[in-house]
Amino acid sequence: MAHQILSTCTSCGECEPNCPVEAIHEGDTQYYIDEAACVDCNGFAPSPLCVKYCPLPGTIVKIES
Ligand code: SF4
Ligand code: SF4
Q: What is the pLDDT of residues 28-56, one digit of tens each?
A: 999 999 999 999 999 999 999 999 999 99
Written as one letter, the residue type at 6 is L
Give the tens place of pLDDT for each residue, 4-33.
999 999 999 999 999 999 999 999 999 999
Q: Give me the DSSP letters along 31-56.
A: EEE-TTT--TTTTT-SS-HHHHH-SS
Sequence spans of domains, the chain: 2-63
Q: Ligand 1 centre and the CA of 50: distance in Å?
A: 6
Bridge-based pairing of strands 60-63 and 2-5 is antiparallel
Radius of gyration of the chain (CA): 10
DSSP letters for 8-31: T-----SSGGG-TT--EEE-SSSE
Which residue, by CA, sits nearest to atom 1 of ligand 1? 40
Q: Which of 5, 6, 47, 49 to mutate to test the pocket of ligand 1 (most atoms within 8 A of CB)?
A: 49
List the CATH code of the domain at 2-63.
3.30.70.20
pLDDT at site 42: 98
